[in-house]
């Protein structure tokens, strides 16, 4: 199948598919006699795996790591578990950071609600932040 069909099959753009090939997430495509990329059906599975992984918030680099393991003939289960574990820790860290930031901003907001606008000192631009 040609790149446009593969793209339509998984709901990606042809640009994205070429980009993934360029980044090493897809092996260099087979070519038809006219030079067009010619994909086997398993490429669709691979693209769908990339999509599922992205939905799990994995970066292309992480996805590439998993695919490389699979391409070496090893079942990537252990590696995937590692990556998912790291991803969980990373998400927890991000959520904690955002939650802390939210508390700070909420505090500023409460100050701004309670304060007297006339007390604004031009020197420090704004005392609520």
Partner DNA sequence: ATTGACCTTCCACCAAGGGGGAAGGTCAAG
Partner DNA sequence: CTTGACCTTCCCCCTTGGTGGAAGGTCAAT
User: Sign of torsion, CA 15 11 1 70?
Assistant: positive
Min dist. Cβ of residue 17 to a copy of itself (A) = 16
**Residue 40 contact among DNA, a copy of itself, none, beta carbon within 5 to 8 Å by kind:** none
| Lookup: tokens for 4 | 């446009």
Taking the C-alpha atoms of residue 80 and residue 87, their distance in angstroms, rounded to an integer, is: 10
Length of the chain counted residue by residue: 129
**Residue 37 contact among DNA, a copy of itself, none, beta carbon within 5 to 8 Å by kind:** DNA
CB 53 within 8 A of CB 63: yes
| Lookup: tokens for 91 | 């998400």
Residue range at the interface with DNA (CB under 7 A); choices 27-35, 68-76, 88-96, 119-127: 27-35
Min dist. Cβ of residue 42 to a copy of itself (A) = 7
Q: Site residues (CB under 7 A) for DNA?
A: 2-5, 13-16, 18-19, 29, 33-37, 54, 59-61
């Amino acid at each position: 199948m040609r790149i446009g069909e593969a793209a339509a099959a998984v709901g990606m753009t042809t640009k994205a598919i070429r980009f993934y090939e360029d980044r090493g997430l897809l092996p260099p495509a087979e070519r038809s006699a006219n030079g067009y990329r010619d994909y086997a059906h398993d490429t669709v599975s691979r693209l769908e795996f990339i999509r599922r992984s992205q939905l799990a918030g994995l970066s292309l680099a992480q996805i590439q790591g998993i695919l490389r393991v699979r391409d070496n003939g090893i079942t990537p289960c252990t590696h995937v578990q590692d990556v998912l574990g790291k991803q969980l820790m990373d998400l927890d860290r991000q959520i904690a950071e955002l939650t802390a930031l939210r508390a700070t901003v909420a505090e500023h907001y409460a100050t701004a609600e309670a304060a007297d606008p006339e007390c604004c000192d031009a020197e420090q631009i704004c005392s609520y932040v």
